[in-house]
Amino acid sequence: MNYGRFVLLIFVCAVVASVSGCFKPPRGMPDESVIGFDGKSALPPDCASLARPSVLTDAGWHRPQMEWGCATYTNLAAQVANPKDLVAPQTLGRADAAVAASAVHRYETGHLIPLDTSTSRTSK
């Protein structure tokens, strides 16, 4: 192994080692349990309770605390179709290959079944 390749390998290892430390999340990160449930809808978390002090400094000054996961869990609470699934998820039913194949065949041949307008909404 020549000297130039050895130096390059050491440099790459040093860069990877220093950068990989940046991607480790802080300890005590919130999980999905921060999403509330009032019996009929999912409630976004209280972002102030998710705040963690920053371990980063800028010229000796500590940066403001960060509310880890606030946007993620607020968006999840807004998007969940059945909020009861957050508390007690339903088990996944058995797969039905014939139904799946039929749906693919209808899609490929252009014989789509229209949505039920009494229960579906349009984008208008």
Residue 15 is predicted with a pLDDT of 64
Residue 32: predicted pLDDT: 75
Give the closest residue to 82 by CA, choosing from 74, 90, 91, 93.
90
Q: In the chain, which residues have pLDDT < 50?
A: none
The identity of residue 76, as a single letter, is L
Tokens matching residue 117: 């307008």
* Per-residue pLDDT at 97: 93
Angle at 90 between CA 87 and CA 96, to 5 degrees: 160
pLDDT of residue 101: 94
Report the alpha-carbon distance of residue 104 to residue 95 in Å, rounded: 14
Alpha carbon separation from 66 to 33, 55, 69, 108 (Å, rounded):
19, 10, 9, 48
Residue 98: its pLDDT value, please?
93
CB 104 within 8 A of CB 97: no
Hey, where are the domains in the chain? 27-109
Interval 40-75: pLDDT, tens: 788 888 888 888 777 766 776 766 777 878 888 888
